[in-house]
Amino acid sequence: MARKNQKAPWEDEEEIILVSKTELKNDMIELQKLGEELVALKPSALAKFPLPDDLAEAIKDAQRFKNEARRRQLQYIGRLMRNIDPEPLQAALDKLRNKHSQSSAVLHKLEQLRDRVVEEGDSAIEDVMEMYPEADRQRLRQLARQAKKEKQANKAPKASREIFQVLKVLNDQPY
């Protein structure tokens, strides 16, 4: 005789996932932190996020509020975010952060290239010409000589800054 609680072998077993109160609370805190990060963004950056209307309105309100009203509004934003999927928002936020770090890495590479142009002269300018064929070789040589003179005379690095701007413009041009 079969037991009443025992399932037949052909029936799928349901997996019951028990979530503790602490886990729920931590999830809510994470959603509230995500909301805080969204509130900290500028309106132009926030416009690119896939936000429901009520959440967008709550975030705009939180940006206006101060002190205790802001804290309560952030809790409200966290509560609104429980009803939506936070993954697209998190992905968009990560993309925004990554874009910033990528652009700073590009600027560091351009600074290193500028330093090479000032220190090495023609050999570094040849590398620049390979990377950016539309670059003005004569102008780069002139600026490199001028930057070297400024460096030896302990003057402000005006030509060095100008080299950086030239490299930045060349880097930003579409191919």
| Domains of the chain with bracketed CATH | 21-84 (1.10.60.30), 98-172 (1.10.60.30)
Compute the distance between CA of residue 76 and CA of residue 143 in angstroms, rounded to an integer.
57
Place of tokens 């132009």: 44
Compute the distance between CA of residue 61 and CA of residue 96 in angstroms, rounded to an integer.
22
Does the pLDDT value for residue 7 go beyond 80? no
Tokens for 36, please give them.
């805080």
CB 82 within 8 A of CB 135: no
Q: Give pLDDT tens digits for 48-98.
A: 777 888 888 888 888 888 889 888 988 888 888 888 887 888 777 877 777
Q: Give pLDDT tens digits for 113-127.
A: 888 888 888 888 888
Confidence of residue 8 (pLDDT cuts 50, 70, 90): low
CB 49 within 8 A of CB 92: yes
Compute the distance between CA of residue 105 and CA of residue 96 in angstroms, rounded to an integer.
15
**H helices within 43-157, ranges in order?**
43-46, 53-64, 67-81, 87-120, 122-131, 137-152
Is the pTM higher than 0.85? no
